[in-house]
């Protein structure tokens, strides 16, 4: 903006190429700083040379950066046409693009802007009304108001600052009241839940020599949390070192459910052979009598970790698909299964499914009274990824007004209340058996009923602005 001599409220047009470059730079810094750990995962477990793994991470960051770059281009175009006031359309453009990132090409809604507020509890309560994208809109609005204030003067500047302050004060005031009221922590039916964090090293999980130790560790920890009062026990994702339904130890696990008299939620692979062979990343709910009460198949698979994108285009050469995946790819589940706990229904999300707001919404709409998630974050090592993952899971609790229980192989395991408060949490890479009270709830938040309406409003507003805002 150097050399600008226009009136307050008017900005000179900026080349779209410059806006694209600034947006890409912003996005690349944003995502290299948050998904840097993917290079270590690919190098360590994908047996890819380190330099190539770094290139793969940079390509992922570049792709993700295209979305804030598009938001920057749209905002630049609107400012060119309408001047500085068009800055206040930037939140709509940002949310529209961020929402698209969660859907296009399978979606990858990792670390949305709004999740930055998950630990700022008074502000984070806005998610119970408008979801994480509502929080993204709030953060973008405040920054747009600051930018407008810096680029203008006089009454226009005062109005922009006042608008940002008033919105923040109203949000924080209501959020503070909501957390202090805490009615959701007194409603519903209490339930003692047990979380088993076996802390099995990733390189040991499928080592046949370690299978007995892994299995007996989880069995012993289950007996311990039940002895301490747990009435529902969660094992992590893929916690059995065998396919549950195809191994003799599966009967031992059913016997454990009968012995303890509590339902067990266990992560394990499943192979379905009729009408055609399919492999699933699954979660089995074992009833207290040992029978399988429900089975959930993971719906949102990890690209290149559990399936190969566009694999149908490569179907003429199946070995290539298996080589790209490094294993025989999983099939995606088709529906949100409800898991019975006595007379109540709960739901689960496997691994990074929990970062998808719509899946938690579908679960609550289907009757889930408790959100659970089982995961194996051992892939991430000593990086920030387990903490990012846990923070995004916590946002689902606020959005849906539900307790969330999380069992992770190497951590973080824990319980989050419906206001986003972490009731109990483990450290990473420690063995931990946790027992904590949750409540089975039936009341609904506004967000659980309206879903991502604010994202659709943002898309419509952005499109309408691009069509109708005239040139100056």
pLDDT tier at 141, thresholds 50, 70, 90 = very high
Of 420, 417, 421, give the one whose Cα is nearest residue 441.
417
Q: How far apart are CA 300 and CA 107, in angstroms?
A: 9
Distances (CA, A) of 312 to 272, 307, 309, 315: 20, 11, 8, 5
Q: How far apart are CA 311 and CA 26, in angstroms?
A: 32
| Model pLDDT, residue 329 | 78
* Burial zone of 313 (CB within 10 Å; 0-12 exposed, 13-18 middle, 19+ buried): exposed
Contact 218, 196 (CB under 8 A): yes
The contacts of residue 433 (CB under 8 Å, 6+ apart) are 194, 195, 196, 197, 221, 224, 225, 228
Q: How far apart are CA 202 and CA 183, in angstroms?
A: 41
279 DSSP β-pair partners? 271
Indicate whether 279 and 417 sit together in one domain.
yes
The contacts of residue 446 (CB under 8 Å, 6+ apart) are 128, 129, 130
Indicate whether 171 and 233 sit together in one domain.
no
Contact 115, 392 (CB under 8 A): yes
Indicate whether 207 and 65 sit together in one domain.
no
| Model pLDDT, residue 309 | 58
Q: How far apart are CA 74 and CA 281, in angstroms?
A: 40
pLDDT tier at 332, thresholds 50, 70, 90 = confident
Q: How far apart are CA 267 and CA 233, in angstroms?
A: 12
Q: In what order do the strands lie in the sheet with 292-297?
A: 292-297, 278-286, 264-272, 232-234, 189-197, 432-440
Indicate which residues carry an active-site annotation. Answer: 237, 298, 351
Indicate whether 262 and 374 sit together in one domain.
yes
Indicate whether 418 and 461 sit together in one domain.
no
Per the domain annotation, does 9 fall within a domain?
Answer: no
Indicate whether 263 and 361 sit together in one domain.
yes
Indicate whether 408 and 457 sit together in one domain.
no
Per the domain annotation, does 329 fall within a domain?
Answer: no
The contacts of residue 286 (CB under 8 Å, 6+ apart) are 253, 254, 257, 263, 264, 265, 266, 292, 293
Per the domain annotation, does 325 fall within a domain?
Answer: no
Per the domain annotation, does 404 fall within a domain?
Answer: yes
Mean pLDDT of 247-265: 95
Write out pLDDT tens, residues 180-197: 999 999 999 999 999 999
Neighbouring C-beta atoms of residue 319, cutoff 10 Å = 8
Q: How far apart are CA 213 and CA 217, in angstroms?
A: 6
Indicate whether 121 and 259 sit together in one domain.
no
Mean pLDDT of 272-281: 86
Q: How many helices and strands in the chain, by DSSP H and E?
A: 14, 12
Indicate whether 68 and 96 sit together in one domain.
yes
Q: What is the CATH number of the domain that holds 368?
A: 3.60.110.10
Indicate whether 112 and 223 sit together in one domain.
no
Rounded mean pLDDT of the chain? 90
Name the DSSP class of 167.
Answer: H
| Model pLDDT, residue 102 | 92
Q: Is the pLDDT of residue 10 over 70?
A: no
Indicate whether 25 and 129 sit together in one domain.
yes
Write out pLDDT tens, residues 420-434: 999 999 999 999 999
Mean pLDDT of 449-456: 96
The domain total for the chain is 2
Per the domain annotation, does 6 fall within a domain?
Answer: no
Angle between helices 90-101 and 127-151 (to 10 degrees): 130
Indicate whether 34 and 119 sit together in one domain.
yes
Question: In sequence order, what DSSP letters do the residues of 214-241 get, joined into one string?
Answer: HHHHHHHHHHHHHHTT-SEEE--TT-SS
């Amino acid at each position: 903006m150097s050399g600008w001599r226009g009136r307050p409220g008017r900005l000179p047009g900026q080349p779209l190429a410059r806006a694209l470059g600034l947006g890409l730079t912003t996005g690349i810094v944003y995502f290299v700083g948050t998904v840097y750990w993917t290079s270590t995962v690919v190098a360590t477990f994908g047996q890819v040379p380190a330099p190539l793994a770094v290139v793969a991470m940079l390509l992922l960051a570049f792709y993700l950066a295209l979305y804030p770059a598009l938001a920057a281009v749209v905002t630049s175009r609107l400012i060119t046409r309408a001047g500085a006031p068009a800055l206040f359309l930037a939140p709509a453009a940002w949310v529209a693009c961020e929402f698209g990132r969660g859907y296009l090409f399978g979606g990858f809604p990792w670390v949305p802007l709004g999740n930055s507020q998950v630990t700022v509890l008074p502000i984070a309560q806005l998610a119970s009304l408008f979801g994480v994208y509502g929080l993204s809109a709030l953060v973008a609005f405040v920054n747009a108001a600051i930018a407008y204030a810096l680029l203008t003067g006089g009454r226009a500047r005062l109005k922009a600052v006042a608008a940002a302050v008033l919105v923040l004060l109203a949000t924080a005031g209501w959020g503070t009241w909501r957390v202090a009221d805490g009615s959701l922590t007194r409603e519903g039916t209490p339930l003692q839940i047990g979380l088993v964090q076996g802390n099995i090293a990733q390189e040991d999980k499928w080592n046949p020599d370690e299978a007995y130790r892994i299995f007996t560790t989880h069995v012993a920890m289950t007996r311990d949390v039940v002895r301490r009062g747990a009435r529902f026990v969660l094992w992590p994702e893929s916690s059995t070192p065998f396919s549950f339904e195809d191994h003799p130890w599966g009967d031992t696990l059913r016997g454990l459910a009968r012995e303890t008299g509590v339902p067990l939620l266990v992560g394990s692979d499943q192979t379905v052979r009729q009408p055609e062979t399919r492999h699933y990343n699954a979660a089995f709910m074992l009833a207290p009598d040992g029978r399988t009460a429900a089975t959930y198949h993971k719906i949102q698979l990890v690209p290149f970790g559990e399936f190969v994108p566009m694999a149908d285009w490569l179907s003429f050469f199946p070995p290539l698909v298996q080589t790209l995946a490094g294993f025989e790819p999983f099939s995606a589940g088709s529906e949100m299964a409800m898991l019975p706990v006595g007379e109540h229904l709960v739901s689960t999300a496997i691994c990074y499914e929990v970062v998808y707001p719509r899946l938690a919404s579908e679960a609550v709409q289907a009757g889930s009274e408790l959100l659970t998630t089982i995961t194996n974050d051992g892939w991430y090592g000593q990086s920030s990824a387990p903490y990012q993952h846990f923070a995004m899971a916590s946002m689902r609790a606020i959005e849906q007004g539900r307790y969330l229980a999380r069992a992770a192989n190497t951590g973080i395991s824990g319980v989050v209340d419906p206001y986003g408060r972490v009731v109990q949490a483990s450290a990473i890479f420690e063995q931990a058996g946790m027992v904590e009270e949750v409540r089975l709830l039936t009341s609904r938040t506004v967000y659980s009923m309206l879903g991502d309406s604010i994202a659709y409003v943002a898309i419509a507003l952005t499109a309408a602005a691009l069509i109708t805002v005239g040139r100056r």
